[in-house]
Structure 1
Amino acid sequence: MNKIKKSLVLQTSFLFFISFLVIILLWIFFYFQQKYQHQEYDISRYFNTASSLQPLLYKDQQINNEDLKVFAMKISNVKYSSYYDVILKKGDKNKGFIVISYKSKRLIYIYNKQKDIMIEDISTHKSMVIIHLVFILLLITQGLLYIKLQKSLSPLTSLHKKLKKLKIGDLSPLKIDSHYEEIKQMIKSYNDSISKIEYMLELREMFNKIFMHEMKMPLAKGMFYLKQEPSNDTHAKLNNILHGLNKELDDFFQIETLISNQNKIIKETHNIKDLLILAKKRAHIEENHVVLKNIEDKTIEGDKEFLVLCFKNLLDNAIKYSFDNKVIVDGNHGVTFENKADELPVDISQDIKKWKIDKNKRHKSSTGYGFGLFIIKNIISIHNMKLIYTYDNNKKIVRLQIK
């Protein structure tokens, strides 16, 4: 009973079982009640038939089936015998009637001193058939409703099982087809949640690997300088490393904020050229590596820090992976970054869920992840802008389409 109370599916099955039981009990009750009424009706009919036919038998009149039709009787050729099963007997040896059972037939032997007659009861109790038919239809209807309801509730059972498996790390989606909006919404919400969990776990793995990679290199350099003789030069190098680490931690904090979506962007109008200059400084890009075209007096609306971070990654990736260490930034029709390089490992124009790049595919990322691409794509997304990527004849073009 505790399981029934706590389970919607079991509770529904139990309630249907109770309803089945009630229908069957009502069926039995009405059957016996109707059977009793039929017996009383038949006995009354037999008395009425016998009393109506006795005067005709005294007068020795001919009795035919037409006369008996009104009593739902007909003349029988069976001869009376005391060996038959007697159901009802009324009268004495001089006058009366006997109701007997013979080969599943009900016969009425009516007699007096003058004459006797054997007639057969041919009445049919249609009300009994109706009772059986009604309750059979009720049970069939209940059965169909139960099957339909169980089919409708089956997604809940599947979802319950999937949630149990989720505890042990099963992140597979729920594959159930349903025509009901509520069930479809539950399935969609579950699958969206699973997708979000997978996305966050993958980002966490990617973020940890990037963080470890970026921290290990300067720390290794610092350990190397500590082993050398103290001097102004080693002191300056250690100072640069520590400032660099501090700057990296600030960048990682900003990226972590971007991942967790906890930061509400502040939309302001900024000059694109000013943002590009800041981005070049943060990426330590030399002036001759960036060619600006049609960029004067062009503006963009959004969060300054995020836009600078986006432009920094776009410039850094474009120059780092280009064949000639150059990138052309064009301000017409948005902001376009063009360079000569290999094709990107992922099409950043699409809605990307999996940021983990195939490790079997050769590319220049030291960690095997498109972390810079992830930063660019997400900053564009939270600003409700569109990113268009094309590649043709070793020419890679990434266009930030401003709405």
Structure 2
Amino acid sequence: MFKDSLRNKINLVFSITLVLLASLFIASVKYDHAKFEEHNAAQERAIAHYLYDYYLKTGKIDKAYLESQNVSLITDKGDVVQIERYFKEKGKYKKYAVDTYRLQRIILINNDRFKLFLENRNKPRYPVKRIIVFSIVLMFILFLYLWIVQSLKPLSELKEKIKTFSEGNLDISCSSDKDDEIAEVANEFDHAVTMIRELLQSRQLFLRAIMHELKTPIAKGRLMSEMLPDEKSKARMHSIFERLNLLIDEFAKIEKITSKNFKLNIKPYKMSDLVEASIDILMVENPERLVTIEIKKDYIVKVDFELFTLAMKNLLDNAIKYSTDKHVTVKILEDHVEIINKAEALKEPLENYFKPFHTSKSGLGLGIYIVKSILDIHHMELGYRYEEGNNIFTVR
């Protein structure tokens, strides 16, 4: 299929131009040849009439006149016999006939007074001037084409840099010192990249500063919790601070995901192992009371362990939080996982919950956004259906 690009349009325009130019050149050459043939035929008839009239007056053939018309009389008897046989075989042995014999234009004049075979040595002129003109036009068109294609080269470079930028590489420069529209676009895009880079850097600095500052009170809190006399309270406080520390680490991962500044470490894992790891990072007491795993058929999936378990953990966390019985069933099937909980159906289509900070009565705002972002990176899909009072989320 023809790609509707600017370069292809330019190629098409110049190809049509070259075809039209070649057609015009061929048509002009054919026209000149036709005019020559017409003039040559009229000249040959005039020669035949002149020779007949001159012979009636003088009884001779005017050879000087023939020479002046660049026409010669064929006198060799052997040649005359062969040419005469040739005209008879072609059915052209008449009072007047013209044909080509061995690349020679032969005129037969056969009347009641004489019989002559003449060779017309007039040839069409080689169209030197026309070839020169068309060659100059062709060179100009080719120069114009190369000039335009060369001027589009920065556009291809800008496309590659935009592609690199879309992949998360912000360390690019596309500024141009030229004075054309492409350079203006490149400079504006370079300015936008600089602004985005500075904005992301300031955001990252801000978030990292906050997370760093939070680490200090958490560390102090853990230290203080160790001084509590009650072992049960100590364990509970220790669990709370561990949870806060884990949340900060997750926020750091989320920040990297949303800024496309994360390098995946893809390895094969059993889906059952990934689900169990996701349950572990929920950091809840007696997780078997909250989550039931049903393995119909375990399978291997290639994922980044930290990111994928974070996505599964968010799904499990949401499922537990919004279930009516605080229980979730995880089914591992042949090629997908189902997270099932008893709860009300989603009030809106699942796609609406993919937006960050989505708010509704049933929640599921940032958590689903994080899950969708991680699954997109892994080229996986998140599905949803409601059956018999159960919400069923599918990771496929």
TM-score tier (shorter) = 0.3 to 0.5
TM-score (norm 1): 0.44
Select the structure with the greater relative contact order (CA < 8 A; seq sep ≥ 6).
Answer: 1
